[in-house]
Amino acid sequence: MGTETPTHREVIIRNLSNREFLERYARAGCIGLGGGTTLVDLAIRRGERHLDEAGQWSLWSHAFFFQGRRADGHHWVIESDLEAHHKNIRLGVQENRVSKFYDDKYFSALAVLDFGLAPAQVESLLREGLELVANREQYSIREIFGALFGLRRPALRGGKNPLAREHSLFCSALVRHVFLRAGVDLAPGVGDKHTTPEDIARTAVPHVKYILRRETPAGKIAAARQRLSAVRQQAAGLRRKIRGKVRLRA
């Protein structure tokens, strides 16, 4: 099952595990999208509803790109994320095995976007991504809040993220950045640090999009909305600060 437009073909997959899906469709130079189920992921997915005419939540809360299969036999990705392990926290651009996305309870939806890039473009993506890994480019949560604020104020999305920091890129901003370096603009008219996973999912650049999707139980959605309601109250003060910064810069 799938859909097709003049710019892309969409293929919906429902009968594979996350692992089987990624093993089948991941390849170097493709973009990956994930729909997480943590509170932060749900907040991002909810915020992206402003990009949908019907106001529906986005499926996507995380973006990354594939390096391809390496000498250890595993697919690897480059992403900007917060990785927390025992006595070890990595905050920023990093390399990880694709196996981190195998948990279908954590990632209820996955997508692979294949742009059919030339080998030179794939090399450019990997070169730029590895440079950012080596330079320890940071992951900035405040920039995510700035991007989410921009979703509520579309006129701001073409400019600079009001909470932008130097040497910082959140997940979809990283993907946008490296693709720009390879000569592919995934979201014309949108500032690089306003780019969301949903912007990438909606790109007009010709591609094939493979989507692994599972239905989320209604009760789970209701519980998520209750949790997000409490978070929104806590975030109200931060939004006021952002508005103040925007007025000052204007």
The CATH number for 169's domain is 3.90.1720.10
Query: What is the pLDDT, as a whole number, of residue 217?
Result: 52
* Integer Cα distance of 50 and 47 in angstroms: 7
* Model confidence at 84: pLDDT above 80: no
Query: What is the pLDDT, as a whole number, of residue 229?
Result: 58
Query: What is the pLDDT, as a whole number, of residue 218?
Result: 47
| Mean pLDDT estimate for the chain | 88
Query: What is the pLDDT, as a whole number, of residue 86?
Result: 47
The tokens of 59 are what?
């499926």
Query: What is the pLDDT, as a whole number, of residue 124?
Result: 97
Of 157, 177, 158, nearest to 167 by C-alpha is 177
Query: What is the pLDDT, as a whole number, of residue 223?
Result: 55
User: With pLDDT > 90 as the criterion, what percentage of the chain qualifies?
Assistant: 74
* Integer Cα distance of 169 and 165 in angstroms: 8
Query: What is the pLDDT, as a whole number, of residue 194?
Result: 96
Query: What is the pLDDT, as a whole number, of residue 141?
Result: 87
State which residues form the domain around 123.
2-249
- Indicate the range of 2-11, 96-105, 176-185 predicted with least confidence: 2-11
* Model confidence at 232: pLDDT above 60: no
- Indicate the range of 1-10, 66-75, 150-159 predicted with least confidence: 1-10
Burial label, 17 (beta-carbon count in 10 A; 0-12, 13-18, 19+): exposed
36-53: per-residue pLDDT in tens? 998 889 999 999 999 999
- Average pLDDT rounded to a whole number, residues 187-198: 96
* Model confidence at 135: pLDDT above 70: yes
| Cα–Cα distances in angstroms (integers) from residue 92 to residues 3, 125, 165, 209, in the given order | 35, 17, 13, 26
Query: What is the pLDDT, as a whole number, of residue 140?
Result: 85
The structural domain count of the chain equals: 1
pLDDT category at 112 given cuts 50, 70, 90 is very high
CB 29 within 8 A of CB 76: no
Q: Could you tell me the pTM of the whole model?
A: 0.84
pLDDT category at 76 given cuts 50, 70, 90 is very high
